[in-house]
Amino acid sequence: MIIDCHGHYTTVPTSFRDFRTKQVEFANDPVNAPKPSDCVVTDDEIREGIENGQLKLQQERGSDLTLFSPIAGLMSHHLGNERTSLEWASISNDLVHRVTEMYPDNFVPVCMLPQSPGVAPANSVPELRRCVEELGFVGVNVNPDPTGGYWTGKPFTDREWYPLFEAMCDLDVPGMVHVAASCNPNFHGTGAHYLNADTSVFMQILQSDLFKDFPTLRLIIPHGGGAVPYHWGRYRGMSLEIAKRPLEGLLDNIFFDTCVYHHPGVELLTKVIPADNVLFGSEMIGAVRGRDPNTGEYFDDTKRYVDACDALSDADRFKIYEGNARRVYPRLDAKLRARGL
Amino acid sequence: MIIDCHGHYTTVPTSFRDFRTKQVEFANDPVNAPKPSDCVVTDDEIREGIENGQLKLQQERGSDLTLFSPIAGLMSHHLGNERTSLEWASISNDLVHRVTEMYPDNFVPVCMLPQSPGVAPANSVPELRRCVEELGFVGVNVNPDPTGGYWTGKPFTDREWYPLFEAMCDLDVPGMVHVAASCNPNFHGTGAHYLNADTSVFMQILQSDLFKDFPTLRLIIPHGGGAVPYHWGRYRGMSLEIAKRPLEGLLDNIFFDTCVYHHPGVELLTKVIPADNVLFGSEMIGAVRGRDPNTGEYFDDTKRYVDACDALSDADRFKIYEGNARRVYPRLDAKLRARGL
């Protein structure tokens, strides 16, 4: 089985995006704000988006199951306020849940959180618990910068995050460290902010004792780990210098996906990072949607790049495509086992 | 000849750093502030730092000449004000100039600018002209984020930067896009802010028409280009989607150094980026100073990694080690030619 750990529901109907625009516009005018019940998406609209989008590409490219979460760019925690963030997270998670109920063999849900700048991460715990305990979500996307690219909050390793991490450990769900859209003109969203966040949070963790405090916390750094595997030597040296410990110790808790859109990048990733710590991911349909004019293939068809890594053994491939995902997301594994898989 | 395009004068005497601390402390109290003439560094102190530091390592590791600039972390444009930035740039550039006068065969000077948050980049032009025209500097480090990690200024491609780029083109000096220290606790300086800046500015340029406006502007993206070569496929796809042109067009004006501290990273860099666009660099003595316990070698001994790239032809190696630096820094080439090199 080939599990894609990183997919977003980017094929929502336009009306869904329009609702969000209005919700934000009236964030401080609740009387005139649209009601959650105004945000209607029909089963037909879901089918149209999914069957012409993610499901079609899944089948064409040969993966079987996608860990599916709300559109990262549209999480936009920097917009509105705590109330609208909660409303939006709840609506978005419910919609993703509907997709996974309609296509249970192909999509398994991962939730977003109702984060908001300056609001304690602890306040996101009830929505996390609702998604996991009531709706069967198996993981969570955590935004390390709810300010949308101004980074005026506290590092991801600050104690203000601990109640959230406690809940994640208690629920046994891993977190993908995934920012939302950037409102800082210095940082293009998918071309800079995403990769910067991946790199920055990894470095914050390197400097911290996060996994001493949470030995069972598991974090996925998406987009191939930002700049990290490419600069693995830099981080190995810094870990020895700053933290007085080998970098490799972080690998009990940190995992990287394969959302790197060319073969040499995926080859480096799989060469530098142990096979136990790499999870297949495509981010599709997401950051880059076109085809490589040199090959005619889609840039984000990352399975091709993994397949072409000749140095990987069959055992390594099994880990990257299935084994690691089932280990890192135990609730996914339980779901699959319940289906005899 | 082996030219290292990226070296900082990190072995300054403590008194030099102490002067900066006091200068910043009294930034708004000019009456009690230390005077530039209080910042005394003796020739012996220079000799001690250089001969036990950069010169020794240059000789041990087999490079010949380093493009030498003030300590990046100590540029700290976010501290003090426009006046102290100008004073500090002038003192720092003069000191680097002294080193290069004492060791002309080994070090060639690259300047820092007197940038300050909210101050027009045009105001840095006089110091740039002084360094290049009066003191023989061959390049300049330009800080794309004088706020030190809060990124509240305008993108590097905004027209406010144009007077500086005009001067750089007029003087025929390339710029290394190099941030200073980070004062944002989310971003470790050398472990996140540096790499994020490299990545972010590359993406800003991808989105812009900078090189249409400045066809002769040449920029070096240090630290192996941040996350860029590792995500080259992502950027190729984005360039086609966003800018409707192949990414490779940027390579007339953009260059990457080899400050990547392990062999697989340098191998990826030299595989993905044409040999015409890679300049040997070590950043030494800089971000990572220790030895790899697996090999006993220094992490920042980047020449080893380049040497070990078997796919490089002799012609490619010549470009990376010498040819490209002489082409990208014409004033360096003129200096070397004047010496019969």
Condensed to tens digits (0 to 9), the pLDDT of residues B83-103 reads: 999 999 999 999 999 999 999
Q: Residue B46 — pLDDT band, cuts 50, 70, 90? A: very high
Q: How far from chain centre, in Å, is Cα A325?
A: 13
Q: How many CA atoms lie within 13 A of A162 on its CB side?
A: 11
Q: Do B191 and A203 touch (CB under 8 A)?
A: yes
Mutate which: A196, A245, A269, A301, vs B, most B CBs within 10 A: A196
Residues B271, B60: Cα–Cα separation, whole Å = 27
Q: Sign (positive/negative) of CA torsion B124, B128, B134, B137?
A: positive
Chain A CB contacts of B265 under 8 Å are 230-233, 268, 272
Q: Which helix (H) or strand (E) holds B108?
A: strand B107-111
Residues B96, B99: Cα–Cα separation, whole Å = 5
CA-CA distances (angstroms) from residue A257 to A145, A313, A328?
Answer: 20, 18, 12
Give me the residues paired with residue A141 across strands.
A176
For residue B202, is pLDDT > 90?
A: yes
Question: Among candidates A127, A32, A143, A15, which has minimal Cα distance to A79?
Answer: A143
User: Residue A291: what pLDDT?
Assistant: 96
DSSP A34: P
For residue A286, is pLDDT > 90?
A: no
SS3 of A9, please?
coil
What is the amino acid identity at position A125?
A: V
Q: Do A184 and B233 touch (CB under 8 A)?
A: no
User: Residue B189: what pLDDT?
Assistant: 97
Q: How far is A263 from chain B (nearest CA, A)?
A: 8
**Widest CA span in chain B:** 61
Condensed to tens digits (0 to 9), the pLDDT of residues A7-57 reads: 999 999 999 999 999 999 999 999 999 999 999 999 999 999 999 999 999
Q: Residue A207 — pLDDT band, cuts 50, 70, 90? A: very high
Whether the bond between B285 and the residue before it is cis, its omega within 30 degrees of 0, is yes
Mutate which: B150, B151, B186, vs A, most A CBs within 10 A: B186
Annotated catalytic, B87?
no
Nearest CB among B155, B200, B262 relative to A233 is that of: B262
Q: Do B262 and A187 touch (CB under 8 A)?
A: no
Condensed to tens digits (0 to 9), the pLDDT of residues B266-318 reads: 999 999 999 999 999 999 898 899 999 999 999 999 999 999 999 999 999 99
Beta strands B278-279 and B175-177 are unpaired
Q: How far is B337 from chain A (nearest CA, A)?
A: 35
Give me the residues paired with residue B107 across strands.
B66
Q: Residue A78 — pLDDT band, cuts 50, 70, 90? A: very high
Residues A320, A218: Cα–Cα separation, whole Å = 16
